[in-house]
């Protein structure tokens, strides 16, 4: 009886969160995967994706350029929001009053806030690049060929999902196209979002059981935007 109770209480392990996944991918990654955290393009070059390497290097370079020439100078003054006050100075050469090179507190605050956002985005993007390169590493270790840039674009534009309903829960599996599917629905991304929200999506292409999509959507609970946050 004790063994049966223990078996009944067994639960499946939870999916790793973003930080756990990054830690695993970085630790188990090869040299190119690890280097991609610091220089994004190196990982993609090492894993045979030159075009993607050029694109991510451009994005990283632009962000670092912004931080070097706009972020760091303003972050250095963030604590005080500037110490040089605005003054009107008479220029003898031009015989006109000119404004000195003062510290603009609003500009310092605005550029500092943008810099904080850029720094956070760079860190998050670097972690995503590591995970992306780890997936490429696993593909190459399995003896398979990684997609080129055009193939990656085609995958994004032609996403496939296997969707099924189990125990009242809608489950989806990205990139899968199983033969046991009752129907295949072909539509645009915005049409899919409209369908899942119970809105009009226009004409969509359905092959197989034409009623499968209607039956699936009938199970979905409609979200009411005008619900009471606090009941009387």
- Condensed to tens digits (0 to 9), the pLDDT of residues 210-230 reads 888 888 888 777 767 677 777
Residues 75 and 174 in one domain: no
Q: Final residue of a domain: which of 108, 127, 149? A: 149
Residues 22 and 131 in one domain: yes
Give a yes or no: residue 230 inside a domain. Answer: no
The C-alpha R_g of the chain, in whole angstroms, comes to 27
CB 180 within 8 A of CB 195: no
- Give the up-direction half-sphere exposure of residue 132: CA atoms within 13 A in the CB hemisphere: 22
**3-class SS at 144?**
coil
CA dist., res. 28 & res. 131, Å (int) = 10
Give a yes or no: residue 4 inside a domain. Answer: no
Which one has a higher pLDDT value, 98 or 223?
Answer: 98
Q: Final residue of a domain: which of 114, 130, 149? A: 149
CB atoms within 10 A of CB 213: 19
Claim: this prediction has a pTM higher than 0.85: no
Residues 166 and 135 in one domain: no
Q: Maximum CA pair distance of the chain?
A: 99
Residues 138 and 23 in one domain: yes
Give a yes or no: residue 227 inside a domain. Answer: no
Q: Give the tokens for residue 60.
A: 């990283």
CA dist., res. 59 & res. 54, Å (int) = 9
Grade residue 159 by pLDDT with cuts at 50, 70 and 90. confident
Determine the length of the chain: 232
pLDDT for position 28: 95
Residues 82 and 178 in one domain: no
Residues 56 and 163 in one domain: no
Domain that holds residue 176: 159-218
> For the segment 128-152, what is each residue's pLDDT rounded down to a tens digit?
999 999 999 998 898 888 877 777 7
CB atoms within 10 A of CB 41: 22
Number of domains present in the structure of the chain? 2
CB 110 within 8 A of CB 16: no
pLDDT for position 61: 97
**3-class SS at 96?**
strand
Residues 168 and 131 in one domain: no
CA dist., res. 86 & res. 80, Å (int) = 15
The burial of 145, by beta-carbon neighbours within 10 Å (0-12 exposed, 13-18 middle, 19 or more buried), is given as: exposed
Give a yes or no: residue 25 inside a domain. Answer: yes
Give a yes or no: residue 7 inside a domain. Answer: no
Residues 164 and 72 in one domain: no
Residues 81 and 24 in one domain: yes
Q: Final residue of a domain: which of 105, 128, 149? A: 149
């Amino acid at each position: 009886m004790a063994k049966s109770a223990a078996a009944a209480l067994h639960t499946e392990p939870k999916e790793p969160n973003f930080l756990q996944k990054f830690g695993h991918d970085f630790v188990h990654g090869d040299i190119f995967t690890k280097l991609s955290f610091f220089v994004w393009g190196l990982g993609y070059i090492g894993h045979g994706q030159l075009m993607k390497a050029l694109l991510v290097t451009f994005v990283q370079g632009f962000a670092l350029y912004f931080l070097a020439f706009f972020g760091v100078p303003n972050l250095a003054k963030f604590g005080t929001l500037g110490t040089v006050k605005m003054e009107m100075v008479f220029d003898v050469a031009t015989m006109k009053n000119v404004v000195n090179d003062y510290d603009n507190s609003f500009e310092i605050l605005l550029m500092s806030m943008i810099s904080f956002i850029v720094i956070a985005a760079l860190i998050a993007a670097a972690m995503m690049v590591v995970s992306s390169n780890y997936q490429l590493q696993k593909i190459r270790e399995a003896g398979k060929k990684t997609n080129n840039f055009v193939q990656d674009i085609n995958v994004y534009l032609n996403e496939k999902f296997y969707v099924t309903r189990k125990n009242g829960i809608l489950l989806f599996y990205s990139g899968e196209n199983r033969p046991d599917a009752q129907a295949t629905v072909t539509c645009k991304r915005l049409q899919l979002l409209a369908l899942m929200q119970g809105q009009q999506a226009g004409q969509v292409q359905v092959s197989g059981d034409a009623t499968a999509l209607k039956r699936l959507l009938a199970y979905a609970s409609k979200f009411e935007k005008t619900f009471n946050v606090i009941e009387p």
